[in-house]
Amino acid sequence: MPRNTKTILFLLAALNFTHILDFMIMMPLGNYLMPFFSINPKQFTNLVGAYTLSAAISGFAAAFFVDRFDRKKVLIIAYSGFLVGTLACGLAPSYHLLLLARLVAGLFGGLIGAQVLSIISDIFPYEERGKAMGAVMSAFAVASTFGVPFALYLANIISWHAPFILVAVLGLALVPLLNKHIPAITAHIDTSEEARPMKVLTEVLANRKQVLALLFSGLIMMGHFLIIPFINPFMEFNLGYTKSQTPLVYLVGGVASFFAANILGRFADKYGKLKVFSICIFLSLAMVYILTNLPKWPLALVLALFGIWFVLATGRGVTAQAMVSNVVEPAKRGGFMSFNSSLQQFGTSAASFIAGLLVVNDAEGRILHYEWLGYLSIIILLAAFVLGRYLFGKMEQVPKPSAVS
């Protein structure tokens, strides 16, 4: 284990912050982009889904070769390409050019998540992985707490282009630090084997546990992101909250997620990842129902409900990925985690496109059928709950820190 693990975690969390902020900021920009480009909800979800669809394709393709290279080099190349795509988003003058830029950003962004998870899994043993992943995934909380509200503030005072330019500038400053402090990670490379790209896929498909783990991961993301793209439009156009109030959802949710990622990650290491996952996902079902059938309640109560939902979503996400990372040995982890990232992106993309098909707006601009997304999310998360209990039920009874196949 490298001596500077805290520095590595901090830099990976900072990278995750910019990566997640780029993805997250598109969704609350719905009530900016739809009137700016005069587009409907389906066209807006195309902007959200374009990134994740492109990322799913590139992540799938990368799985065939990433385990033959230094994880650090793959990460830096992918991150650099992602920043170029993000900058293009910030400079896009039209809907179609923005759509193209999102495809480019996703093409490289699809490689980032798998490399981050693989690096953590290679450096930290399973018994400490919940805490490590919680630390890195707390970047989601920071992006929600500070990134999204500040980005929306820039969108209010400048334009919707500003948040993407902000991400690109922050990322460009981070690249040399990543290159300096993250060590080369090559121990997983097996130079004795002849390059056989399709072997990666055939080995995964031949392993029932790995196939189910990928399905599990995709279901978690799909169930989660079904309701996210229309949170801001629903709150503004249906419930009457203002553009200055809706960013508070991400501020409160981000603070809640920050503490949840770190505290629940430690709890998961101590009491069992499956136990914490099961509690979080089961309790989150009620929150999904409430938030997608939300009446005009006092803002403080609404923010408290979103805070609870963010806590539960973060808890299930941290524990789910810690469990998934342990179904494959280190030498094959990069390829598997690329498939995992691809399935996550595909689940997110499918959620965006389904949301665009189900949700419409009326003549007054209100969002209709948002509650349908909630019901579908509950069904999918229930399926993930059952699959997770079946798949990982005996994993933590195994005393070895190495992967379980």
Q: What is the pLDDT of residues 256-281, one digit of tens each?
A: 887 887 788 788 888 888 999 999 99
End-to-end CA distance of the chain: 23
pLDDT tens across 278-319, in order?
999 999 999 999 999 999 899 999 999 999 998 999 888 888
Which stretches of the chain drop beneath a pLDDT of 70? Answer: 1-3, 67, 126, 129-130, 140-141, 144, 186-198, 331, 333-334, 395-405
> What's residue 405's pLDDT?
36
Stated pTM of the model? 0.70
Separation of alpha carbons 99 and 117, rounded Å: 28
> What's residue 57's pLDDT?
86
Q: Which of 373, 369, 267 is nearest to 311 (CA)?
A: 267
> What's residue 400's pLDDT?
44
Classify the C-alpha dihedral 260-256-310-8 as positive or negative. Answer: negative
> What's residue 401's pLDDT?
43
Beta-bridge partner residues of 12:
none
Distance of CA 305 to the CA centre of its chain: 21
Backbone angles phi, psi at 360, to 5 degrees: -135, 165
> What's residue 164's pLDDT?
93
Separation of alpha carbons 38 and 325, rounded Å: 43
Separation of alpha carbons 139 and 314, rounded Å: 11
> What's residue 66's pLDDT?
72
